[in-house]
Structure 1
């Protein structure tokens, strides 16, 4: 229970951020790496069109799914805020890139014993993440190395 003097955290807004880079864009929206000025942390903002009824439902479903799937093995939703006609999802930043790039740039160059250990570790983490999703009735329909992200500690 909070004391009377504590204030709830302030909701994020677009002006709280400096642009770092655009990761991707498409019909689904745009994804940016942004620096959160108050904290100095890098975060990902996924900007989803929120003007048509079908887009509103898709955005709401994604927010609901991300809220249900919080775990050390999933990318976690930090906050949401409106920006003009879009809904912005603030997600944790995974600076290690994706598993495909990790395999191509690093793992293929490792001795076989180290590759196996890394494979076991990542395999376990992927299974734990999918278990979290499945326990919530969520099925990831595009599970592939390009969609598996590596955090700052080298974990999935």
Structure 2
């Protein structure tokens, strides 16, 4: 239960003529969360916000900060996550994410929810900003995953209520 704070979302308040960064130091953002295009002189964009959100999502799932000591020599949290996707996603997960009620069906839980969340994080962190989803699409996907999770959880609660009632 560690809170995370990120700095994505400011792009919608800025127009290109309001702020043109002269150097990477002038870009508002946090190392590890900033989109790689900022280092190449690109302007602030909503694509960069999607990148920052994707890094945050991957951080929540893996429990690894993008500035972790393991990320050296070009290895980043998105590259690490992608290298394990989809077959070894379970190895990348934060161990604190385990849910007791899903231990009997961990593979189903992994495929129905976790792999979809990692895929969403990876889609937000692709190299080309034009290939990243918009935040409305990201929100729609998150909502669909949440709704499926809640529906399944309700089914599990009903099952255990019925079993206890027997």
TM-score tier by shorter-chain length is: under 0.3
Q: Which of the two has higher C-alpha Rg?
A: 2
Greater RCO, 1 or 2 (C-alpha within 8 Å, sep 6+): 2
Q: Which has the higher strand share?
A: 1
Bigger proportion of residues as helix: 2
TM-score normalized by the length of structure 2: 0.24
